[in-house]
Structure 1
Amino acid sequence: MTDCEFMFIHSLAEDYLQYVLQIPAFESAPSKTSRVLQRVAFSVQKKVEKNLKLYLDDFDVESIDTVRTIFNQVMEKEFEDGIINWGRIVTIFAFGGVLLKKLSQEQTGLDVDAYKQVSSFVAEFIMNNTGEWIRQNGGWEDGFMKKFEPKSGWLTFLEMTGQIWKMFFSPQATLLTRENPGSCDNGDQHLVLPCTRNSDET
């Protein structure tokens, strides 16, 4: 992807994470694409936080480094089968939102720019793992917007996402422990997800 494409994705991530933390956007109003993404991804995020509260309450997110480690582990597992679609791309933003919100709840005096750090590695993951697919599937205007504008149906995707997140946080999936939340080198700490994927997902 080009620098312009990366900056656009980065701006989408920043806008979304600002929206999650309810930080006013002083510089400029979000684009139409950004507003649609906020609606869709935040709906997914709220569903996850409601249905999986017990799982989310059971692990600590103590720093940006912890957010980065958990995010990369989960997303790498999610995309290891090579299947890409708009639904999965939306879950990247939503998962970043879940982790950042968890961090803001656990860390007193969270740096106001924390969302910028998270948005950077969210955008990097999207660029490195789905950038070419996005370009080949209409980009954000002709691909994403046609899929998720209000007139488009996406409830099936929402239900599918809830199932995926249950797999993320199931007892069989081992996240970073409370005792060593920042480590990803110990084999016992590695995230293992018993997930299967269907190429016909939204």
Structure 2
Amino acid sequence: MENEDGLREETRQLVSDYLEYCCRREGCQERPPSTPAAATMRTVARELRRSYRDFFECARSQLQDRAPEHVISEVAEMMDQDGFNWGRVAVLVVFTGAMMETEDQEKKERGQLRSELSRRLTEELCDYLVEKKGAWLRENGGWTGFHHHFTQKQPPPQSDPNSTLCCIMAAAAGFGLMGLALLLAVR
């Protein structure tokens, strides 16, 4: 039980850190990441968002009229169908951050809504990751394992000497077809 509580707290901290990062106001200085894994998540997220910008924007606009908690739950279950890995964990967290981006609210109302939405989505992700994937997370080193997975020195692939970028892209590559299927399935 203590092990699950620790994993839940680490997961909540990482997800909260990333969603807060997504919700920061323009022009405001961002807070430093709360953990090395949170710093890694931000780095991985920037690369995923840059590389798959069209997908995240399309998904966000296509899914805007649905409850974000339900969308996240459905996406998590879809991602689990073909296996689970750190890249899919990252895509799930980044996708959740994309769901936080609402553009049609007044600034004050947006801050209050985002704060509540962030709390709900953090809990939804924590429930999924800890209750359904807790054994996998612990088996793979928890969030320290996530950090090491994306930052460890690996022999560079033949096509790209940047192993971290290659690792991110290879891990996320399997998500492309599922993402398209998701968009078609929910419309």
What is the TM-score with the length of structure 2 in the denominator?
0.74
| Alpha-carbon distance between aligned partners in 1 of 2:182 and 2:75, rounded to the nearest angstrom | 15
Q: What SS is found at the alignment partner of 2:62?
A: coil
Deviation, structure 1 residue 61: 1.4
Does residue 45 of the first structure (1) align with residue 49 of the second (2)? Answer: yes
Deviation, structure 1 residue 14: 0.4
Deviation, structure 1 residue 171: 8.8
* Unaligned stretches of 5+ residues in structure 2: 155-162
8 Å Cα contact 1:167-1:173 kept in structure 2: no
8 Å Cα contact 1:45-1:97 kept in structure 2: no
Deviation, structure 1 residue 30: 1.2
> 1:156 is matched with which residue: 166, 172, 184?
166
The structure with more helix, counted as a fraction of residues? 2
Change over 3 Å in CA distance of 1:118–1:44 after alignment to 2 = same
Deviation, structure 1 residue 47: 2.5
Aligned length: 169
Does residue 35 of the first structure (1) align with residue 33 of the second (2)? Answer: no
Change over 3 Å in CA distance of 1:88–1:52 after alignment to 2 = closer
| Alpha-carbon distance between aligned partners in 2 of 1:54 and 1:137, rounded to the nearest angstrom | 31
Does residue 100 of the first structure (1) align with residue 100 of the second (2)? Answer: yes
Q: What SS is found at the alignment partner of 2:124?
A: helix
8 Å Cα contact 1:61-1:106 kept in structure 2: no
Which residue in the other structure is 2:160 paired with? none
Change over 3 Å in CA distance of 1:158–1:56 after alignment to 2 = same
Which residue in the other structure is 2:89 paired with? 89
Code of the residue aligned with 2:77 in structure 1: it is: E
Change over 3 Å in CA distance of 1:90–1:174 after alignment to 2 = same
Change over 3 Å in CA distance of 1:8–1:53 after alignment to 2 = closer
Does residue 117 of the first structure (1) align with residue 127 of the second (2)? Answer: no
Which residue in the other structure is 2:75 paired with? 74
Which residue in the other structure is 2:157 paired with? none
* Unaligned stretches of 5+ residues in structure 1: 178-202
What is the TM-score with the length of structure 1 in the denominator?
0.69
> 2:131 is matched with which residue: 128, 133, 147?
128
Worse-superposed segment, 4-13 or 131-140 = 131-140
Q: What SS is found at the alignment partner of 1:174?
A: helix
8 Å Cα contact 2:12-2:122 kept in structure 1: yes
CA RMSD of aligned residues (A): 3.0
Does residue 22 of the first structure (1) align with residue 24 of the second (2)? Answer: yes
Deviation, structure 1 residue 20: 1.1
Q: What SS is found at the alignment partner of 2:103?
A: helix
